[in-house]
Amino acid sequence: MDESSFILGVDLDGVVGDFYGAMRKIAAEWLDRPIETLEKEVSYGLEEWGIDEYGGYDRLHRFAVTQRNLFRDMEPIKDAPAVLRKLSARGIRIRIITHRLFLKYFHQTSITQTVDWLDTWDIPYWDLCFMADKGAVGAHVYIDDAPSNVIRLRNQGCKTIVFTNSTNQDLPGPRASSWKEVERMVMDAREEWNTGTRTLFGAGTDAAGMDAAGFQPGV
């Protein structure tokens, strides 16, 4: 980890990009169903849409990326690009960490669409990492929405903010429901990192050794 800068590890799908909104539109076409019949409040894997009998999530995902340019054309989540620009201007190093290469044979398409999308929305970043083990690349604070990613990062001792959506309602905080909240939490985390004081991420500990925000002190 680069100790000279405060590093924010940022997931893309469901955090910066409106992945579920974009997938809902594409799935309606793929399933040949009115979009109104597809639930907005979904779980991880989109099983509420009944996609298994059509080939399952992997097949829908492949169609979305290769035939409908999912990673290039999805809309950003409200305020995400602007807040990331503000954080970058304040000296925070943005490290994009995404697991978009989990399916074989169209990695180049996924990477090209990702870079084009980041440039189109003027989203700043120093590093762009395509990998499953997000904790391996290092960041002072992470933000993610996928339950498996959040659990794994926290088990590795990584300070992780949950970006709230319907897939992660059961996860404990700290969590943010908007990018305005993300901005405040990240700035508080950097202040804590700069000064060594315990603010948002360290207002006392409980019997399990966790601070009030859900992080292990000293991590």
Catalytic residue IDs: 11, 13
Give the closest residue to 151 by CA, choosing from 170, 177, 179. Answer: 170
| Helix H or strand E encompassing 175 | strand 175-176
Q: Tell me if 187 sits within 8 A of 176, measured CB to CB.
A: no
Relative orientation angle of helices 56-68 and 107-120, to the nearest 10 degrees:
60
Q: Tell me if 96 sits within 8 A of 128, measured CB to CB.
A: yes
Q: Tell me if 42 sits within 8 A of 146, measured CB to CB.
A: no
User: How large is the C-alpha radius of gyration of the chain?
Assistant: 18
Burial track 64-88 (b if 16+ CB lie within 10 A, e otherwise): bbeebbbbbbbebbeebbbbbebbb
C-alpha distances out from residue 146 to 99, 162, 190, 202, Å: 11, 8, 24, 24
CA angle 202, 207, 210 (to 5 degrees): 30
Cα–Cα distance, 54 to 81 (Å, whole number): 35
